[in-house]
């Protein structure tokens, strides 16, 4: 008898734990022998390309991959079925909607379910495909932890661990040289990584997108620290942080089909602003960048990702389409995709985490 076919895609920026989700889906599916699992290379691109790039994901393909960073089926945060880049005769690029074609390809290939592992943008695509009749289930991923309707996304804790270990390394060099160290971490609109790292590492200042900073208050806090006879200080800043009445530090991307602004470099802006505000101490900047997204996931994320994968397949069996796997109150549940994309998971400025940071003397420059 012909097997039922499940398609798995990974979309958006990569994230530690993607492979652990894929492995869990395949292992759980192996207990339901009437199913087979396929992966499309680079999100839906593999199905939309000629020739198609789809691979069978069997036990051999996923053996041991839970330990590996990245995604064995690749990913992309450019274009997509609703805005596929095409080059015009004059060399410029425009986008076409290939979503109906994708729906037809999924039907022709006999896929009876799709699991899409991705962040905000990917889940929007999932919801739009679901509205076109695709039986789809979402799995939330992003190191930024900015996806609503789940307490945590996998990959976030690994990014925090990498940032905290980097922070710890900066402490000894800052102390030796009596310097201000500014460490920039990822976080476009939400300061989760910065906030967790600042608390875990013991920063003096933490600057996040949700709390625009007053540079004079930041400078004052750092002055105070030097006047106390402790001649070094640490600032953690999220890439999307901005001063009061100021703008984010970003540049336009030139890559075809890339719709995001490219962030990164706010640490250097902050350094210049602190100089202008009269801080005389030596300042050094570290931009962690994509090192936060690479490498092996920590155990927490492997466990969370594995739970997400098993749950996602069980939702396929239960035909809970149009839903996303979610981690809430220490258990794994499902939530409507609509709920996941309706809101954005900002750090709540009145949360106990912010209160905790303030309680141990961390300044947000407000």
The nearer residue to ligand F6P, 296 or 320, going by C-beta atoms, is 296
Of 122, 126, 142, 249, the one binding ligand F6P (CB under 6 A) is 142
Which residue's Cβ has the minimum distance to ligand F6P?
Answer: 186
The nearer residue to ligand F6P, 147 or 170, going by C-beta atoms, is 147
The nearer residue to ligand F6P, 184 or 285, going by C-beta atoms, is 184
Rounded Cα gap, residues 208 and 325, in angstroms: 28
Reported as half-sphere exposure (CB side, CA atoms, 13 A), residue 97 has a value of 6
Minimal distance in Å, beta carbon 184 to ligand F6P? 11
Of 114, 147, 241, 263, the one binding ligand F6P (CB under 6 A) is 263
Q: Which residues contact 126 (CB under 8 A, 6 or more apart)?
A: 114, 116, 118, 136, 137, 138, 324, 337
Radius of gyration of the chain (CA): 22
Of 21, 41, 106, 143, the one binding ligand F6P (CB under 6 A) is 143
Minimal distance in Å, beta carbon 307 to ligand F6P? 22
Of 10, 106, 144, 152, the one binding ligand F6P (CB under 6 A) is 144
Angle at which helices 99-108 and 120-131 pack, to 10 degrees?
70
Does residue number 118 form part of the binding site for ligand F6P (CB under 6 A)? Answer: no
Contact range with ligand F6P by CB under 6 A, out of 17-25, 87-95, 180-188, 332-340: 180-188
The site map against ligand F6P for 282-321 (x = CB under 6 A) is -----------x----------------------------
Does residue number 157 form part of the binding site for ligand F6P (CB under 6 A)? Answer: no
Rounded Cα gap, residues 309 and 23, in angstroms: 8
- Cα Dmax for the chain: 77
For residues 213, 151, 294 and 185, what is the CA-based torsion angle, rounded to 10 degrees? 10
Rounded Cα gap, residues 52 and 45, in angstroms: 8
The site map against ligand F6P for 10-49 (x = CB under 6 A) is ---x------------------------------------
Judged on CB neighbours under 10 Å (0-12, 13-18, 19+), 197 is buried
Enumerate residues 183-222 that contact ligand F6P by CB under 6 A. Answer: 186-188
Q: Is 151 a catalytic residue?
A: no
Size of the site for ligand F6P (CB under 6 A): 11
The nearer residue to ligand F6P, 141 or 225, going by C-beta atoms, is 141
Instruction: From the candidates 14, 120, 144, 301, give the one annotated as an active-site residue.
Output: 144
Rounded Cα gap, residues 19 and 155, in angstroms: 11
> Which candidate, 214, 231, 213, places its Cα nearest to that of 222?
231
CB atoms within 10 A of CB 107: 12
Minimal distance in Å, beta carbon 122 to ligand F6P? 11
Minimal distance in Å, beta carbon 305 to ligand F6P? 16
Does residue number 149 form part of the binding site for ligand F6P (CB under 6 A)? Answer: no
The site map against ligand F6P for 50-79 (x = CB under 6 A) is ---------------------------x--
Minimal distance in Å, beta carbon 321 to ligand F6P? 26
Q: Which residues contact 47 (CB under 8 A, 6 or more apart)?
A: 7, 40, 54, 102, 105, 106, 109
The nearer residue to ligand F6P, 127 or 141, going by C-beta atoms, is 141
Active site positions, annotated: 144
Tell me which residues touch ligand F6P (CB under 6 A): 13, 77, 142-144, 186-188, 239, 263, 293
């Amino acid at each position: 008898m012909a097997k039922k076919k499940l398609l798995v895609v990974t979309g958006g920026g990569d994230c530690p734990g993607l492979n652990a989700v894929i492995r869990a889906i395949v292992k759980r599916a192996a207990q339901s022998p009437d199913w087979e699992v396929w992966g499309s290379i680079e999100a839906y691109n593999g199905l939309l390309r000629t020739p198609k790039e789809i691979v069978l994901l069997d036990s051999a393909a996923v053996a041991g991959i839970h330990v590996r960073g990245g995604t064995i089926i690749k990913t992309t945060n450019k274009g997509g079925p609703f805005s596929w880049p095409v080059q015009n005769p004059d060399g410029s690029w425009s986008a076409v909607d290939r979503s109906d074609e994708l729906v037809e390809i999924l039907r022709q290939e006999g896929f009876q379910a799709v699991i899409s592992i991705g962040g905000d943008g990917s889940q929007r695509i999932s919801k739009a495909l679901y509205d076109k009749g695709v039986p789809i289930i979402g799995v939330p991923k992003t190191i930024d932890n900015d996806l609503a309707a789940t307490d945590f996304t996998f990959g976030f804790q690994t990014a925090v661990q990498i940032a905290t270990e980097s922070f710890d390394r900066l402490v000894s060099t800052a102390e030796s040289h009596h310097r201000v160290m500014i460490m920039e971490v990822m976080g476009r609109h939400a300061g989760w990584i910065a906030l967790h790292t600042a608390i875990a590492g013991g920063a003096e200042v933490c600057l996040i997108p949700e709390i625009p900073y007053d540079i004079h208050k930041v400078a004052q806090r750092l002055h105070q620290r030097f006047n106390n006879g402790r001649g070094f200080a640490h600032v953690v800043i999220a890439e999307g942080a901005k001063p009061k009445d100021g703008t984010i530090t970003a540049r336009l991307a030139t890559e075809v089909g890339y719709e995001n602004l490219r962030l990164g470099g706010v640490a250097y802006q902050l350094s210049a602003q602190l100089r202008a505000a009269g801080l005389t101490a030596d300042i050094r900047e570290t931009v962690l960048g994509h090192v936060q997204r690479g490498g092996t996931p920590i155990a927490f994320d492997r466990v969370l990702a594995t739970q997400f994968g098993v749950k996602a397949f069980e939702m396929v069996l239960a035909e809970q389409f149009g839903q996303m796997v979610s981690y809430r109150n220490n258990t794994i549940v499902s939530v409507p995709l609509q709920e996941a994309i309706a809101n954005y998971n900002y750090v709540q400025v009145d949360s106990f985490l912010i209160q905790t940071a303030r309680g141990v003397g961390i300044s947000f420059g407000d």
